[in-house]
Amino acid sequence: MFVALSGAHSIIPPAILFNYAKANWTLSLFEASNYGVFLGDTERAKKIAKRIIDEAKRLEVKDVVIGECGHAYNTLRWEAPKWFGSEFPFRVRSIIEVLAEWIQEGRLILDRSANPEPVTYHDSCNLTRNAGLLEEPRIVLKAAVEDFREMYPNKEENYCRIPGN
């Protein structure tokens, strides 16, 4: 089950990729962003997360794939299991994990020549430090662009690192 951000711009491109990879998928009725988290309102955040969890359980999905929002992924992957005191009967994954997996399996073949300009990547705090997704974004980018250039420092040493953490 894909849980997108609000709007066609975050639904249509992944839908094209899911169909290309011949994935068995559905679109969540709810959006990935959890504004309860942004507002610091844990009770509201729990209600928002529970809608997605209940939907995934009802549909008996194997994976809940979160769109490109690191905060949404972090909330459902790490915080929600603490809130509800149990493991879920499905995996919570970032779309970056899924795309990297499909590229490595040969299910998703991208045209690097369509993106000849230099491209770099700034590691996301939520995806890098909280989820440990260091190589997955690079797998996707290296498959999608001709000229990937690494930033330095990068991965867990990038500039949004909090000293001592």
46 has pLDDT over 90: yes
Paired sense of beta strands 118-119 and 91-94, if any: unpaired
Task: State pLDDT tens for residues 101-153.
Answer: 999 999 999 999 999 999 999 888 778 777 788 899 999 999 999 999 998 88
Average per-residue pLDDT for the chain: 91
Write out the H or E segment, with its range, that includes residue 17.
Answer: helix 12-20
Specify the 3-state DSSP secondary structure of 3.
strand
Task: State pLDDT tens for residues 77-100.
Answer: 989 999 998 789 999 999 999 999
CA-to-CA distance for 139 and 141, rounded, in angstroms? 6
Does the pTM surpass 0.85? The reply is yes
Q: Which amino acid is at 106?
A: G
Phi and psi at residue 127, in whole multiples of 5°?
Answer: -75, -35
DSSP assignment letter at 27: B
162 has pLDDT over 70: no
pLDDT at 126: 75
Percent of the chain at pLDDT > 90 equals: 66
Can you say how many angstroms the Cα of residue 144 is from the centroid of all Cα atoms in its chain?
17
Specify the 3-state DSSP secondary structure of 90.
coil
Q: Tokens in use for 121?
A: 């990547």
